[in-house]
Homo-oligomer: A and B are copies of this chain.
Amino acid sequence: MGHSGAFCYPYARPAVTVDCVVFGLSEDRLQVLLVQRDEEPFLQHWGLPGGFVRIEEDLEESVRRELESKTRCKNIYFEQLYTFGALDRDPRGRTISIAYFALVNSASYPIDDVGGELSQSSGHKQVRWHGVDTLPQLAFDHGKLIACALERLRSKIMYRPIGFELLPSRFTLSRLQKLYEILLGRELDKRNFRKKILSMGVLDGLEAWEQNGAQRPAQLYRFNQSKYQQKLKQGDFFEV
């Protein structure tokens, strides 16, 4: 029981952190943003971006601060995942972590597919995308957090239109389908997919086409947030 420091309480208190599983999409796989630790414990291991919750900030504010410092990006989609509180999850002492997961359009960030170079640095720490199937050894119980986030993401894209968050604001239906195929780990029928997605009425077809080499140009679409909100209010749900 420590006597150092200016903040004292009649009972011992756990430390509280937020950790965030940030997903991004490369050409053909789902990736997670990891930070290489520059201190003990787990020195030089990779871990999730996260940190202690400051006493004067909201949980969401904490997450936003962490995300901005690691990704230099605002307005990221994120939501709370689960709270982890096992006694031994942090060797420094009892620490409870409120885990979040976030989806970013990773085209906005340098992406490193082969795993050679670092993509960005924040302070002196390395920050890098790692394919979810080729994760390194992770600090703390972060492997568990990622597994939990993956499960949630995979099931959630089936009933909520959050997949769009992984794409640029304008995208082709083929790209969207690829996204679903990567996340679900199986192929989807093109005609059925387009029929289904379009029939939900939350995508706006644009008068713009993407030229992608030597093929027929593909029409671009945009997710219409307000149409979706309206459907939600009518109890009308998204489903893939």
Q: Which residues of B contact A6 (CB under 8 A)?
A: 1, 3, 8, 10
Q: Which residues of B contact A1 (CB under 8 A)?
A: 6-7
What's the least CB distance linking A84 to chain B, in Å?
A: 8
Indicate with 1 or 0, residue by residue over A170-209, a CB within 8 angstroms of chain B CB atoms: 0000000000000000000000000000000000000000
Instruction: Please state if A9 and B14 are interface contacts (CB–CB under 8 Å).
Output: no
Count of chain A residues with a beta carbon within 8 Å of a chain B beta carbon: 33
Instruction: Please state if B56 and A85 are interface contacts (CB–CB under 8 Å).
Output: no
Q: How many copies of this chain?
A: 2
Instruction: Please state if A7 and B15 are interface contacts (CB–CB under 8 Å).
Output: no
Q: Which residues of B contact A12 (CB under 8 A)?
A: 7, 55
A55 touching B11 in the complex, CB below 8 Å, given contacts A6-B1, A83-B98, A85-B98? yes
Return the chain B residue nearest A59 by Cβ: B85
Indicate with 1 or 0, residue by residue over A62-83, a CB within 8 angstroms of chain B CB atoms: 0000000000000000001011
Instruction: Please state if A4 and B10 are interface contacts (CB–CB under 8 Å).
Output: yes
What's the least CB distance linking A79 to chain B, in Å?
A: 10
Q: Which residues of B contact A53 (CB under 8 A)?
A: 14, 85, 96
Instruction: Please state if B9 and A2 are interface contacts (CB–CB under 8 Å).
Output: yes
What's the least CB distance linking A145 to chain B, in Å?
A: 14
Instruction: Please state if A13 and B14 are interface contacts (CB–CB under 8 Å).
Output: yes
Expressed in whole angstroms, the Cα–Cα distance for A14 and B13 within the complex equals: 8
Q: Which residues of B contact A54 (CB under 8 A)?
A: 11
What's the least CB distance linking A203 to chain B, in Å?
A: 25
Return the chain B residue nearest A8 by Cβ: B8
| Residues in A lying within 8 Å of B, measured CB to CB | 1-16, 52-59, 80, 82-83, 85-87, 94, 96, 98
Given A5-B10, A13-B13, A16-B16, 7 new contacts (CB under 8 A): A4-B8, A6-B8, A11-B55, A13-B15, A55-B94, A56-B94, A80-B83
